[in-house]
Amino acid sequence: MIKEQATIKITTNTQPKINQIDWDNIPFGKVFTDHMLVMDYHDGKWQTPEIMPFGPIPMHPAMSAIHYGQAIFEGMKAFRRDNDDVVLFRPEMNAKRFAESCERLCIPPIDEALFVELINRLVDIDREWVPRKEGYSLYIRPVIFATDEAIGVKPSESYKFIVFLCPVGAYYSQAVSVKVEEYYTRAAIGGVGRAKAAGNYASALYPALLSQKEGYNQLLWTDAKEHKYFEESGTMNICFVVDGKLLTPSEDEDTILRGTTKRTIVDVAEKWGFPVEERKITVEEIIKAAEEGRLQEAFGAGTAATIASIAKINFRGKDFNLPAITSDFFSQKVKNYLDDLKKGKLEDTDNWCKII
């Protein structure tokens, strides 16, 4: 089958900055590549996509996204292999989630195959920006926002889709301490928690700040109705290992973001024959397991860090310390496995890595 390529207008950056980069000091999310992709929606359809020099975009003061928050985003990465190949990891999952976020926010969706193709073309043009250093990668940020130049709450009739790229360093993170949040909420049933909607992150800032003042890195979110069940850890999905079993909240309710990383971790656990339970996880059972020394591991799962280990959980004023991390932990084995898979050091039997 011959795949027809999408028509893209390409304007090459005549003043590239790639030779000015200090590859040993890349602050996360602050260095941008030479190109970006822009596609506008107006007159009832998505227009011809353009790859152009990275730079500011003009903004009207009444632009609806900044008033009413009709905006969604995605987060994914491209990895460099030792043979110089560049790969994306399960990009079709991001495409699907992006389309679902669009639907929830009344944004006209982008065809999922086109989404993946546009990202391939952009990363290909800036492929020299995909770091060669161990643990480094190219972060990919797709975003769509409403651009109607008018006041009034209604779905916008025009949008801008932008994809830009940031080389990022190894996500060095010490194990974090987290606090179980029983008052503030991230998402409620019927809300937009499942969508990667911009407003979700704004509303989480204040409760997160309060917990930081108490000395915790982030919050363990519980359900909005009863604060009885775990939902997520900061902006990551949450996983526990109790009695040799991987426990993670089911995604049946629309309050939990369906993470590619968490889905992959569950897939790998099943492949390895490691017991998994994806169901409602109560705060009570996890705290009880911690008290009885049966809580072996707790970690957040997401694209930025893959795995963010949790060292301490605070619940109603009491700190519960988790065992020190060792290389035979499930979370460490799965992280190494995924790193090796992305690097092409293992056979990709599930066809998760897509070479650009």
Ligand X SMILES: *Cc1c(COP(=O)(O)O)cnc(C)c1O
- Minimum CB separation of residue 47 from ligand X in Å reads 28
Is there a contact between 137 and 130 (Cβ–Cβ < 8 Å)?
yes
- Minimum CB separation of residue 25 from ligand X in Å reads 25
Q: With respect to ligand X, which residue has the nearer C-beta, 34 or 74?
A: 74
Distance CA 292, CA 313 (A): 14
Q: With respect to ligand X, which residue has the nearer C-beta, 223 or 232?
A: 232
- Minimum CB separation of residue 20 from ligand X in Å reads 30
Q: With respect to ligand X, which residue has the nearer C-beta, 74 or 117?
A: 74
- Minimum CB separation of residue 257 from ligand X in Å reads 4
Give Cα separations from 227 to 153, 164, 232, 262, 268 (angstroms).
Answer: 32, 37, 12, 22, 30
Q: With respect to ligand X, which residue has the nearer C-beta, 86 or 304?
A: 304
Give Cα separations from 183 to 155, 224, 255, 316 (angstroms).
Answer: 31, 8, 16, 11
Residues 6+ apart with CB under 8 A from 170: 133, 134, 135, 136
Q: With respect to ligand X, which residue has the nearer C-beta, 63 or 353?
A: 353
Binding site for ligand X (CB under 6 A): 75, 196, 232, 235-237, 257, 259-262, 301-303
Alpha helices (runs of H) in 185-305, residue ranges in sequence order: 198-213, 260-272, 283-291
- Minimum CB separation of residue 112 from ligand X in Å reads 15
Distance CA 95, CA 155 (A): 22
- Alpha carbon dihedral 12, 15, 21, 26, in 10-degree steps, equals -60
Q: With respect to ligand X, which residue has the nearer C-beta, 68 or 73?
A: 73
- Minimum CB separation of residue 96 from ligand X in Å reads 11
- Minimum CB separation of residue 304 from ligand X in Å reads 7
Q: With respect to ligand X, which residue has the nearer C-beta, 236 or 246?
A: 236
Q: 2-37: buried (b, 16+ CB within 10 Å) or exposed (e) per residue? A: eeeeeebeeeebeebeeeeeeeeebeeeebbbbbbb
Candidates 164, 89, 85; CA nearest to 127 is 85
Q: With respect to ligand X, which residue has the nearer C-beta, 42 or 96?
A: 96
Distance CA 301, CA 256 (A): 13
- Minimum CB separation of residue 45 from ligand X in Å reads 28
Q: With respect to ligand X, which residue has the nearer C-beta, 306 or 314?
A: 306
Exposed/middle/buried for residue 246 (C-beta within 10 Å: 0-12, 13-18, 19+):
buried
- Minimum CB separation of residue 308 from ligand X in Å reads 11
